[in-house]
Each structure stands twice: as structure tokens, then as C-alpha cells.
């Protein structure tokens, strides 16, 4: 009897091992793939080149720090904070778990160094210290973060921590993170370089950026990594090639290595789309181009016949291997039809409406609407949603004297109708000063350009206008090489 039971037990164990060999990887992969989301956008136009689960809610992890720094940039631009401000570390900030800088309660650090620690080291203690400094408390600061997300049009995002440590209430989406990344570049290009720091030295120690794509020499110039057990491996990345900038967001990766490789593949494919279009090839739906190369699954693949390899070895952000080297595969249902552009923020729509009302009062609405049809890109760049941006004019709050603009145009005809936007500011003087500074630093690139500050609601957008397409793209590429963020604006 005992021998019979033993034989039965061994048979049961053998059967479970066989079944487990086939079933467990599928279950594990299902859990992992449920966290995956991605989006690739053109930073200049807002066109969505590829999206997968882009509007599904995910955990942001340390991508949260992008919004923490956005609000810090805003405070600096408004004069509410200074890079030399001294932050005193609170007991709450000092008690944050790693990754951290490790200052004790009562120690001090400048705001500039705290920002560098947040961007390079992804220091949780410094992100919280910044939040307390800017907002007065973390609770107040995270309310500010959520409100700003709403203003930018991040419809799936809510913040309850300043550093992204696990909290089930803190949610976002890949599309929302793309909106935020683009807003950082558009609104605060003078501070974008914090996200591209390769390393940072502090108190005799060198810290390397957690973003492993930065030193690859493929045009990557910044953004942010993130990881928690719940989120998986997240990465927001931006790169410039041939004068064009793409933004890629991947959430829910299985490891640092596989996530980085996947982002690189998405970037390469996106730039291939841009290159082929520039050569005259008609690629109307970039999503299809991506899917033909194995990214995403079409309707005919919903049965699971086409696996997607988004997996590799497990490792943390510091590169320490922590799991199996086995690669698992899975398939997923076809994605729903997604918008082909990143939606404009509600605050910008409101600003555009106010600008349109001013133009109408001055008798300019008819001429403005005649220039171009509804244009989301124009709206995102500060023009009314129903109008295109005139690159060689400078709209103002008050109606300009009617003879002034024609006189200037007669003085020197612009070489072209392309423009390069280098920033957006709350203060008109800051916007003009930034143009003056960049004109000084890049005299060769902007020798034939006009310096214009265009208004949109409460924002002043700094632009070099009157450029040819070649000159605009060449100038933006030169700026990008020096880690100055810019956008090429074509004629509408």
C-alpha cells in the first residue's frame, strides 16, 4: 500500500512538472505583459508614431521625478526659487528608502545639487526635499503636481508622492508621460539639460546617470528611468538625429537591459519612419510601419500566433542581475485605434481661446483662420487651435500699431518661413534675454534669423524665425549637440 502511494505521488509530481513547464511561463508572462505600455512621438509635431496600451493606467515609479523637476523649473522661471537656495533636510526626507543621497536630517544642500541628485541618482530623499522646499510640504506639493498634470492634459495621472515610491493611488499612462516630457522641453528648455547629465560629482563621490542609453552615442540626450516591483522597469527617453527629435516612453519592462534595448529599437524604427518620409516615401500611418516590424499586433494576430519578445534577464537600475536569464514570449490582442497626435493641454486650449478672442477684437480673426485649418500642433505651440502660427510675426497682448509690422517686413525679407523655438517663459524679459543669450552663443546658426517672442495667454515663447528648412534643422541640431533643447517649427 505504501509503495502504491509512493508511485502515485511520484506520478503526480512528474505530471505537475510537465504541466508547469508549459503553463508557468505563460502565467508569468501574462503578469509581466499586463504592465507593458509604450508610445513614440515626434517632439516637434506631436504626432504619435507608435502606441501600445498608451492610455492604460500604470505606476510611474521614479518617472514621477519628471513632474517634481517640472514644478521646480517653473518656480525658478517665476523667481520663486533660486538655484543657490539652501535646503535643510527634514527627518521625513532623510528617512526615505534608497535610491537616495543619504544626507542626515539637519544637513543642507543647494537646490541645484538636489536637482542634480534627483535627475542623475534618482535620489528619493532629494526629490522629497525639493517638494518640501517648493510646496511647503509633500502633501501640498503633490497636490500642485496633480493640478499641473491636469493643466497639461495628463488625464490618467495622479500624484501622492514627490519621488514615486510605491503607492497604489499614484497612477499615470505612457501617453501622459509623453505629454509631460514634451512639456518640459517646450516650456523649460534652459533646464532640460539636467535630464541629460551623464554623471555628477558630490562630496568626493561620482554618481553615474541611471539612464544607460545616454552614453551610447545615438543622439540620446536625456529624460528619466524608474522602477518598483509594481511598475516594472520604466524609461522616458529622448533623442535627436538629423535635426529631428523623438520621445519614447516604455513602462513595465522586465529588466534594465531588455527595456533599454526595446526603447532603442522603437527609437530606431521611429527615426527610420522620419528618414523615409524626408526622402519622399508616403507613410501615412506610422503605427502600421511599426507593426510590420513586430511592434504591436494587428487584428489577424490576436490569436496569439505572433509572439513579442519584450523580455530578457532581470536586473535592477544599477545593473545587478537578480533573476533568470530565460526569455519568455507572449502575444496580446490587437490594440484599439489610438489618436495620432498628443492632445493639447486644457490650459493651452484656454490660453489659445483667450489669444483668439484678442485677435478677433483687433479684427484679425478672419485673416488668422484663413491661414490654416484646425491644427493641434499649432495649438500645442501656443497658437489658437483653429489657426496656424505665422513664424515671422510677434503677437502681443495689446494690438500692435498697424504700420509697425509691415515696415519691419519691408526692411528685410525673411530668408524662409521656418522657425526654431527655444523656450517658453512666464516673463517676457526672460524670454527676450534667453533669445539674446542663444543668439550670442550660436551666432553662426542664427545670423539670418529674426528674434521673436510670441505670446499665448500667460506664456512668452522664444523663437528664431525667418529661417529656411535647412537652416532651422541645422541650427536645432547644433543646439541639441550643446544640450540646448529646441523645436523646429515648419510653415503651416
Give catalytic residue positions.
62, 65, 122
Closest by Cα among 416, 422, 423, 421 to 469: 416
- For 62, 100, 163, 292, the CA distances from 167, given in Å and listed in that order, are 12, 18, 11, 37
Could you identify the residue written with the cell 529588466?
255
Distance CA 183, CA 29 (A): 34
DSSP secondary structure of 421-438: EEEEESSHHHHHHHHHHH
Q: Is 389 exposed, middle or buried (0-12, 13-18, 19+ CB in 10 A)?
A: buried
Name the DSSP letter for residue 301. G
Q: Are 225 and 255 in contact (CB under 8 A)?
A: no
CA distance linking residue 131 with residue 164, whole number of Å = 12
Look at strands 232-241 and 244-253 and give their pairing. Answer: antiparallel
Distance CA 157, CA 59 (A): 9
Is the separation of the CB atoms in 133 and 111 below 8 Å? yes
What are the CA-CA distances from residue 187 to residues 3, 73, 193, 276, 390 (Å)?
76, 9, 13, 30, 19
Q: Is 237 helix (H, G, I), strand (E, B) or coil?
A: strand
Q: Decide: 87 and 174 in contact? Cβ < 8 Å.
A: no
Q: 206 forms bridges with which residues in the sheet? A: 201
Per the DSSP assignment, residues forming a β-bridge with 253 are 233
Sign for the CA dihedral angle at 44, 46, 52, 55 comes to positive
* Distance in angstroms (rounded) separating the CA atoms of residues 99 and 102: 9
Closest Cα to residue 52, out of 33, 38, 71?
38
By C-alpha distance, which of 176, 93, 101, 87 is closest to 128? 93
> How does strand 450-456 pair with strand 459-467?
antiparallel
Q: Cα–Cα distance between 152 and 74 in angstroms, integer?
A: 13
Question: How far is Cα of residue 70 from the mean position of the Cα atoms in its chain?
Answer: 11
Q: Cα-Cα-Cα-Cα dihedral of 78, 80, 85, 90, to 10°?
A: -130
Amino acid at each position: 500500500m505504501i509503495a502504491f502511494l509512493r508511485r502515485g505521488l511520484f506520478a503526480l509530481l512528474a505530471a505537475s512538472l510537465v504541466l508547469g513547464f508549459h503553463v508557468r511561463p505563460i502565467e508569468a508572462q501574462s503578469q509581466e505583459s499586463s504592465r507593458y505600455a509604450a508610445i513614440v512621438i515626434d517632439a516637434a509635431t506631436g504626432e504619435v508614431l507608435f502606441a501600445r496600451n498608451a492610455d492604460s493606467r500604470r505606476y510611474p515609479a521614479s518617472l514621477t521625478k519628471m513632474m517634481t523637476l517640472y514644478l521646480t523649473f517653473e518656480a525658478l522661471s517665476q523667481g520663486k526659487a533660486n538655484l543657490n537656495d539652501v535646503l535643510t533636510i527634514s527627518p521625513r526626507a532623510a528617512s526615505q528608502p534608497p535610491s537616495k543621497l543619504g544626507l542626515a536630517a539637519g544637513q543642507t544642500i543647494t537646490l541645484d545639487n538636489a536637482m542634480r541628485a534627483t535627475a542623475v541618482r534618482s535620489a528619493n530623499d532629494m526629490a522629497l526635499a525639493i517638494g518640501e522646499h517648493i510646496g511647503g510640504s509633500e502633501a501640498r506639493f503633490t497636490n500642485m503636481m496633480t493640478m499641473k498634470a491636469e493643466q497639461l492634459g495628463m488625464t490618467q495621472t495622479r500624484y501622492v508622492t514627490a519621488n514615486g515610491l510605491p503607492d497604489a493611488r499614484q497612477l499615470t499612462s505612457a501617453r501622459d508621460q509623453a505629454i509631460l516630457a514634451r512639456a518640459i522641453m517646450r516650456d523649460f528648455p534652459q533646464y532640460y539639460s539636467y535630464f541629460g547629465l551623464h554623471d555628477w560629482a558630490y562630496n568626493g563621490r561620482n554618481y553615474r546617470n541611471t539612464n544607460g542609453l545616454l552614453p551610447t552615442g545615438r543622439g540620446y540626450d536625456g529624460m528619466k528611468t524608474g522602477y518598483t516591483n509594481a511598475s516594472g522597469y520604466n524609461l522616458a527617453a529622448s533623442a535627436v538625429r538629423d535635426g529631428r527629435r523623438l520621445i519614447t516612453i516604455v513602462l513595465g519592462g522586465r529588466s534594465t537591459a531588455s527595456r533599454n534595448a526595446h526603447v532603442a529599437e522603437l527609437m530606431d524604427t521611429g527615426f527610420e519612419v522620419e528618414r523615409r518620409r524626408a526622402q519622399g516615401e508616403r507613410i501615412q500611418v506610422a503605427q502600421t510601419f511599426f507593426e510590420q516590424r513586430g511592434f504591436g499586433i494587428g487584428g489577424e494576430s490576436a490569436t496569439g500566433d505572433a509572439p513579442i519578445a519584450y523580455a530578457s534577464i532581470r536586473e535592477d537600475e544599477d545593473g545587478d542581475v537578480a533573476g533568470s536569464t530565460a526569455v519568455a514570449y507572449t502575444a496580446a490582442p490587437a490594440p484599439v485605434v489610438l489618436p495620432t497626435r498628443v492632445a493639447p493641454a486644457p490650459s493651452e486650449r484656454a490660453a489659445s481661446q483667450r489669444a483668439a478672442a484678442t485677435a478677433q477684437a483687433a479684427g484679425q480673426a478672419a485673416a488668422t483662420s484663413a491661414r490654416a485649418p484646425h491644427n493641434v500642433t499649432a495649438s500645442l505651440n501656443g497658437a489658437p487651435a483653429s489657426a496656424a502660427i505665422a513664424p515671422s510675426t510677434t503677437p502681443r497682448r495689446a494690438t500692435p500699431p498697424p504700420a509697425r509690422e509691415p515696415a519691419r517686413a519691408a526692411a528685410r525679407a525673411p530668408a524662409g518661413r521656418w522657425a526654431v523655438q527655444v523656450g517658453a517663459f512666464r516673463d517676457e524679459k526672460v524670454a527676450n534675454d534667453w533669445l539674446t543669450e542663444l543668439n550670442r552663443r550660436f551666432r553662426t546658426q542664427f545670423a539670418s534669423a529674426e528674434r521673436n517672442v510670441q505670446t499665448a495667454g500667460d506664456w512668452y515663447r522664444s523663437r528664431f524665425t525667418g529661417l529656411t528648412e535647412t537652416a532651422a534643422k541645422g541650427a536645432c541640431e547644433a543646439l541639441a549637440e550643446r544640450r540646448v533643447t529646441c523645436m523646429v517649427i515648419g510653415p503651416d
